[in-house]
Amino acid sequence: MEASPATVIQYFNGEKQNLIPLFQRPYTWAKNNWQTLWDDLMVQYEEGDTGTHFMGAIVSVPARSVPVGVSKYLIIDGQQRLTTVSLLLCALRDCLDPNSASRIQEVYLTNRFREPEDTLKFVPTQADRDVYRTIALDRQVPPDSKDVRMAAAYHFFKDKLTKTTAPNDDPIDPAKVLITLEQSLQVVMINLSDDDDPYLIFESLNFKGEPLTQADLVRNYLLMRFHHSISAGGEQERVYSRYWIPIERKLQSNLPEFLRHYMMKDGDDIKKGGIYAAIKKKLKDMNSAEALEAEAESMRRFGEFYSKLLLPGQEETASIRDCLENIKELKVTTSYPLLLRLFDARQAEHLSDVDLEKCLGLIESFVVRRAVCGVSTKSLNKLFIQWSKNFPNTDHIQWLHRSLSAGSGNSRFPKDTEFATAFMTQPQYGRASTHFILGRLEKSFQHKETVDLSRATIEHILPQTLTQEWKDALGSEAEKVHQTLVSIFGNLTLTSYNSELGNRPFLEKKSRLENTHIELNRWIVQKSSWGAPEIEERAKSLLEIANKIWLAPLDTI
């Protein structure tokens, strides 16, 4: 990284082209910003060549991936200031004598005798290019309008140059304003190299502004590998419109995390702050436009898959949609790299819908069995990355089942014996997966009129706090029964009557649950009392259902 003080006019001097990335916001400065710049300029105008005004830092990175034409620089930070100065230069051009106007046009605004795409020295983002080109290159300024921000800025400065006075009440001298702009407006010029991380630089400089995301940098770097155009229809714009905009629209704020999982599907563990560096390294090795466009198309295609993971309703096949809903509810985002590989295999017709459903079911079984047994989730990220790396071309179900079953310790797929013991005896209340597991048990009854369980909460039939009535009903071992069984699956259910049930005696709870539409509760209301025998019997009954839903590892089948 090179950082040095410079006059802002240096960004417009010499044969170069400063480009604002396509992803950047359109020009947003308004009258208060223009007035502030003008006031600062007038202070220096009065002081002559003795003073300077510091405008902040401008961060750029060479666009070395485009070897033709003039030197090109990508403006990472400083878009609004450079845009405003360029519009002020346009206004000065149109207020000065022909010789001065020609100097501004040929020295600061355009590169003479260059190809059309290299003509402008400053190229704003796509949304502003047509208006800016009209003002800077064609010298045709749209009418003053707050809806056309660049035109409004031009008219603001032209009015200041022609209709106002200097602080000493003399008429404004545009030639002196130009000299002041050239000599007094200073910035810190920060030029990044390929080894610098523009994300970190931007974060340190732009803490008050709109944060630049890892996705912004990826988008920018990818697009700069294609030829840009100052007019519509160029290669860069085509790639942006065809591949990147669809990803942005579908994934929105989830785009950075998609890019992370997209890179992880090949077996690399990418941290949240390392997305740009990883993708840049991959793109840097691609020397042809065809390879780069194929990668952009791959991102778009996998973005379609990813949107289904986030919004399962987009999946057309009902059974697969249900599987995705389950994985989403379990919040197993660590599985997403592997899921991307599975959906890619399905699109390539290497995997049928039926087999995809089975694979998704295996992943759910692996996660649920581990959750019930209290296995740490810390190893899941590395496991799913490794399986993504080793993803086969055929026999996906058998390969996945073998892979899930091969681990031990914190990587294990709990066997039937361990699963049964945990399901029957371990406290489950308070775990993130418990509501989901109870909901899946309920859905297994496959009622034609399903109940919305999203508002149902977990209820302890034997209450969390024992009343005297409950102690009398449980007998001499009430405390022991309560301590060991209150939070196991046999004593837990789902209901929307939770606040009404509380610590009430069993018969009162039973009467309130008699009109239940939840099948899990029908077994309960058939009982005349509630204690250890009933809780253990219900746990065993639910376990039989659980074993049918969540498949065991291979060596116990």
pLDDT of residue 169: 86
pLDDT of residue 376: 94
Q: What is the mean pLDDT of residues 147-175?
A: 92
Cβ-based burial of 474 (10 A; exposed 0-12, middle 13-18, buried ≥19): buried
- Name the residue with higher pLDDT: 368 or 514: 368
The amino acid present at 341, given as its one-letter code, is R
Cβ-based burial of 156 (10 A; exposed 0-12, middle 13-18, buried ≥19): buried
3-state SS, residue 2: strand
| pLDDT for 75 beyond 70 | yes
Rounded CA gap, 391 and 387, in Å? 6
Q: What is the mean pLDDT of residues 285-302?
A: 93
Q: In this predicted model, what pLDDT tens digit does every residue of 414-439 receive, in sequence order? A: 999 999 999 999 999 999 999 999 99
Q: In this predicted model, what pLDDT tens digit does every residue of 1-59 receive, in sequence order? A: 677 889 999 999 988 899 887 767 789 899 999 999 999 999 998 887 667 888 888 88
Q: Write out the two tokens for 248.
A: 């942005």
Confidence category of residue 195, pLDDT binned at 50, 70, 90: low
C-beta of residue 259 within 8 angstroms of C-beta of residue 295: no
Q: In this predicted model, what pLDDT tens digit does every residue of 262-278 receive, in sequence order? A: 999 999 999 988 998 89
Of 151-155, 498-502, 504-508, 520-524, the range with the highest mean pLDDT is 151-155
H-only helix segments in 348-477: 353-372, 380-389, 396-405, 416-425, 434-443, 468-474
Q: What is the mean pLDDT of residues 242-247?
A: 94
pLDDT of residue 208: 43
Write the DSSP assignment of 458-493 as a string of letters: EEESS-SS--HHHHHHH-TTHHHHHHHHTTSGGGEE
Write the DSSP assignment of 27-56 as a string of letters: P---HHHHHHHHHHHHHHHHHGGG--EEEE
3-state SS, residue 152: helix
Q: What is the mean pLDDT of residues 63-71?
A: 65
pLDDT of residue 219: 87
pLDDT of residue 33: 94
pLDDT of residue 64: 56
Q: In this predicted model, what pLDDT tens digit does every residue of 354-395 receive, in sequence order? A: 999 999 999 999 999 999 999 999 999 999 999 999 999 999
Task: Give phi and psi for 457, each to the nearest 5.
Answer: -115, 170
H-only helix segments in 252-314: 255-264, 275-284, 289-310
Rounded CA gap, 487 and 498, in Å? 15
| pLDDT for 557 beyond 50 | no
3-state SS, residue 540: helix
DSSP count for the chain of H helices, then E strands: 26, 8
Rounded CA gap, 7 and 189, in Å? 9
Rounded CA gap, 458 and 520, in Å? 12
Question: In Å, what is the CA distance from 136 to each residue of 9, 131, 422, 439?
Answer: 16, 9, 73, 63
Query: Which region among 58-62, 182-186, 304-308, 375-379 has the lowest average model confidence (pLDDT)?
Result: 58-62
DSSP 8-state symbol, 551: P
Helix (H) or strand (E) holding 181: helix 174-184
pLDDT of residue 207: 42
Rounded CA gap, 555 and 547, in Å? 15
Rounded CA gap, 312 and 310, in Å? 6
| pLDDT for 152 beyond 90 | yes
| pLDDT for 484 beyond 80 | yes
Q: Which residues contact 507 (CB under 8 A, 6 or more apart)?
A: none
C-beta of residue 545 within 8 angstroms of C-beta of residue 441: yes
pLDDT of residue 23: 62
Rounded CA gap, 185 and 52, in Å? 6
pLDDT of residue 34: 95
Cβ-based burial of 232 (10 A; exposed 0-12, middle 13-18, buried ≥19): exposed
Q: What is the mean pLDDT of the chain?
A: 89
Strand 457-460 and strand 492-495: the pairing is antiparallel
- Estimate the crossing angle of helix 532-549 against helix 416-425, to 10 degrees: 140
pLDDT of residue 236: 81
Of 50-59, 172-181, 236-245, the range with the highest mean pLDDT is 172-181
